[in-house]
Structure 1
């Protein structure tokens, strides 16, 4: 039982980091806290991404992230496969 509780505490402590291991972060749906888990994205950049998305709508591609003030092509390239814009619904 003690081992189980230790594992549970460890899993809860590592929770945010484990989310990245499960796949890329969708920059169209992620909140600021989730975006901060990305390498090179701190609180200010995460807030800028969320604010930009609220003003301009969803990103069409990961490369569109470079349109956010304070984020350039170099940052987008470094993020690489860590980010996605998700899947698009089929046109009706």
Structure 2
């Protein structure tokens, strides 16, 4: 019975950790950004890519809040999934 619970929790942990993959916001397409980040649809993801193209690569995650429609709460809930390099 204990092994069943261990297996179950291992599978749940694996699912949760792979539900959203990390994405490099300085290289990814709008489609990839919208797929991988919670609360970022294609419109916001396109705005992120446009901002990046006009202003250069993001140096910090907090810089994402300069993109219209992206707030600090969105950055915080995606912190583990955002890569800069």
String of CA shifts for 1:34-87, please: whole Å, max 9, x gaps: 00111111011010000000111100011111111110111101111110101x
Match of 1:46 in 2: 45
Match of 2:55 in 1: 56
Runs of 4+ aligned structure 1 residues displaced above 2 Å come to none
Match of 2:81 in 1: 82
The structure with more helix, counted as a fraction of residues: 2
Query: 2:25 pairs with 24, 27, 42, which one?
Result: 27
Q: Distance in 1 between matches of 2:77 and 2:50?
A: 21
| TM-score normalised according to structure 2 size | 0.72
| TM-score normalised according to structure 1 size | 0.67
Q: CA RMSD in A?
A: 1.7
Unaligned runs of 5+ in 1: 1-16, 87-92
- Matched positions, count: 67
